[in-house]
């Protein structure tokens, strides 16, 4: 008797597409995506990896597991508050609500009272000016680099940007400030040396071809020892005397001073020192979505907003809504995490460690995102074996620990207390995948990591 090829028992495509789970997924997944999932399961069955009788269940599982986006929520157990690889600042509840509200039709460029077109992002502008009264006007673009590019393009395209050699930084992922400015059509006029730049260096360089002076906060590195730099107030006085705009890129996005980060510049203090224009990021210490901020003299902000490049780098309605909510709502998650009480962090770590039978060690977190380099955020971490890191990262929910010196460290600074239970369950599930789970939690305690 001739045997039937098992592949002939694989359910037909139309039958699989008619499964209840597939029908339920249609509001969030397109027919193209659903068809690809079905065919992938069928191909597995044709290769003999899956019995034909399990195809329907496999399709159901695949469809239910497939989200509309490949991005996955992650529990950040690294102790790094502004983690670039995790999307920098997590949005607070008010910002999340604002994004949902702005996902439909909104009056982003419309005056509802008159029915005529209005200034884009008027609500955000008002919020920024209320939070930073030293600014005469404000403009938001799509990221911090765009803010700096717009400023140098509008003020110095075809002319010179005077900048200290010690501030020609690389801002991450290989993007270098000199290349960024050169792309605007401006020419760099480097002054001083890597470690010492004086006011007279700037004075000697300013001439008829100067478009602006640029002062850049070094952000993710520090220069120590035999160093010198021109005080911002002195530089502002020189710029005013010569009739040249002074642009200060403060990087991190603080609007007001933070006593815990005394060396981190903020917009209010920088403008009070008479800088003409401040550029900054909105998704770092400000705690909002990816955005670039421009704050300062009304005539300069107006000039920038009317430049053709402003259209190319403008922020979308979701960013405007989330950023306005972040500014008006008060303490953002990054602020709360940055100022977390070490004693409370220790209590939470010890509770997690007790449930796992693991030790707790001292651990220093970081601001991250280029902010406050070298400034430790004292904390505590649960120490596990390094082998736990992979199943933690690939679990559901995904957990990102810090892997250091052969250990997997879990710092709860950036994990909401409401998620402590989820973290415990995720760690237990990760440990269960290891051949010898007991050894993964019995690593001897070590000095501060």
Assign 1 a pLDDT band (cuts: 50, 70, 90). low
Contacts of residue 181, Cβ cutoff 8 Å, sequence gap at least 6: 148, 149, 152, 161, 163, 188, 214
- Give pLDDT, residue 175: 77
| pTM, full prediction | 0.90
Name the CA dihedral angle for 197, 202, 205, 207, rounded to a multiple of 10 degrees. 170
- Decide: 151 and 294 in contact? Cβ < 8 Å: yes
Short-list 215, 283, 216, CA closest to 252: 283
- Most distant pair of Cα atoms in the chain: their distance: 101
Average pLDDT over residues 384-392: 97
Provide the token pair at 331.
Answer: 């303490």
Q: How confident is the model over 239-290, as pLDDT tens digits?
A: 999 999 999 999 889 999 999 898 899 999 999 999 999 999 999 999 999 9
Listed in order, the ranges of the chain carrying CATH 3.40.640.10 are: 92-330
74-83+336-440 architecture in CATH? Alpha-Beta Complex (3.90)
Q: Cite the beta strand spans of 284-429 per DSSP E.
A: 292-296, 360-368, 377-385, 398-404, 407-411
Task: Let me know how long the chain is.
Answer: 449
CA dist., res. 65 & res. 131, Å (int)? 43
CA dist., res. 164 & res. 188, Å (int)? 10
Average pLDDT over residues 143-148: 94
User: What are the Cα distances from residue 169, in Å, to 172, 210, 215, 266?
Assistant: 9, 21, 11, 19
- Give pLDDT, residue 437: 62
- Decide: 367 and 382 in contact? Cβ < 8 Å: no
Q: Is the pLDDT of residue 57 over 90?
A: yes
Q: Is the pLDDT of residue 219 over 80?
A: no
Q: What percentage of the chain reaches a pLDDT higher than 70? A: 96
- Give pLDDT, residue 221: 72
Assign 177 a pLDDT band (cuts: 50, 70, 90). confident
Assign 392 a pLDDT band (cuts: 50, 70, 90). very high
User: What are the Cα distances from residue 201, in Å, to 46, 98, 164, 267?
Assistant: 73, 47, 9, 25
- Decide: 142 and 168 in contact? Cβ < 8 Å: no
Q: What residues form DSSP beta bridges with 74? A: 398
Q: Which CATH entry fits the domain spanning 92-330: 3.40.50.1820, 3.40.640.10, 3.20.190.10, 3.40.50.300?
A: 3.40.640.10
Q: Is the pLDDT of residue 439 over 70?
A: no
Listed in order, the ranges of the chain carrying CATH 3.90.1150.110 are: 74-83+336-440
- Give pLDDT, residue 2: 60
Name the CA dihedral angle for 191, 197, 200, 202, rounded to a multiple of 10 degrees. 40
- Give pLDDT, residue 227: 83
Count Cβ neighbours within 10 Å for each residue of 239-269 and write b for 16 or more, e otherwise.
Answer: beeeebbbbbbbbbbbbeebeebeebbbbbb
- Give pLDDT, residue 447: 40
Assign 445 a pLDDT band (cuts: 50, 70, 90). very low
Cβ atoms within 10 Å, residue 218 = 15
Average pLDDT over residues 27-47: 96
Quote the mean pLDDT of the chain: 93
Q: DSSP letters of 285-301?
A: TT-SSS-EEEEE-HHHH
CA dist., res. 215 & res. 290, Å (int)? 22
Short-list 185, 197, 192, CA closest to 159: 185
Assign 446 a pLDDT band (cuts: 50, 70, 90). very low
Q: DSSP letters of 19-64?
A: SHHHHHHTTTS-HHHHHHHHHHHHHHHHTTSS-GGGHHHHHHHHHH
């Amino acid at each position: 008797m001739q045997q039937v090829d098992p592949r002939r028992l694989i359910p037909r495509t139309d039958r699989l597409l008619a499964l209840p789970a597939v029908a339920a997924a249609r509001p969030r997944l397109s027919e193209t995506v659903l068809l690809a999932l079905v065919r992938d399961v069928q191909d597995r069955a044709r290769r003999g990896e899956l019995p034909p009788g399990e195809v329907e269940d496999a399709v159901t599982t695949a469809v239910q597991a497939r989200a509309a986006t490949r991005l996955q929520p992650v529990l950040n157990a690294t102790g790094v508050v502004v983690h670039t690889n995790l999307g920098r600042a997590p949005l607070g509840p008010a910002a999340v609500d604002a994004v949902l509200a702005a996902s439909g039709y909104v009056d982003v460029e419309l005056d509802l009272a008159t029915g005529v077109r209005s200034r884009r992002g008027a609500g955000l502008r008002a919020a920024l000016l209320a939070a930073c009264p030293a600014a005469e006007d404000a403009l938001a673009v799509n990221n911090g680099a765009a803010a700096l590019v717009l400023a140098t393009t509008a003020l110095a395209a075809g002319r010179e940007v005077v900048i200290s050699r010690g501030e020609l930084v690389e801002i991450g992922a290989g993007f270098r400030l000199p290349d960024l400015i050169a792309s605007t059509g401006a020419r760099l006029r480097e002054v001083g040396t890597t470690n010492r730049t004086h006011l007279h260096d700037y004075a000697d360089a300013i001439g008829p071809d100067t478009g602006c002076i640029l002062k850049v906060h070094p952000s993710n590195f520090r220069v120590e020892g035999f160093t010198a730099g021109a005080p911002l107030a002195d530089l502002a006085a020189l710029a005013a005397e010569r009739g040249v705009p002074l642009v200060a890129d403060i990087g991190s996005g603080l609007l007001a001073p933070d006593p815990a980060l005394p060396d981190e510049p903020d917009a209010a203090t920088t403008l009070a020192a008479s800088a003409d224009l401040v550029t900054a990021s909105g998704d770092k210490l400000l705690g909002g979505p990816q955005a670039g901020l421009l704050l300062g003299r009304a005539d300069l902000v107006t000039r920038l907003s009317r430049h053709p490049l402003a259209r190319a780098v403008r922020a979308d309605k979701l960013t405007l809504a989330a950023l306005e909510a972040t500014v008006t709502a008060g303490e953002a998650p990054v602020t709360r995490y940055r100022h977390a009480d070490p004693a409370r962090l220790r209590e939470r770590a010890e509770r997690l460690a007790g449930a796992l039978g693991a030790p707790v060690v001292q651990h220093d977190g970081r601001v991250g995102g280029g902010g406050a380099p070298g400034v430790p955020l004292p904390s505590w971490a649960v120490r596990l074996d390094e082998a736990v890191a992979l199943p933690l990262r690939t679990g559901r929910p995904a957990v990102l620990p810090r892997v250091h010196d052969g250990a997997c460290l879990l710092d709860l600074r950036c994990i909401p207390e409401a998620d402590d239970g989820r973290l415990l369950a995720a760690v237990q599930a990760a440990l269960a995948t290891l051949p010898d789970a007991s050894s993964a939690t019995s690593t001897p305690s070590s000095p501060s990591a």
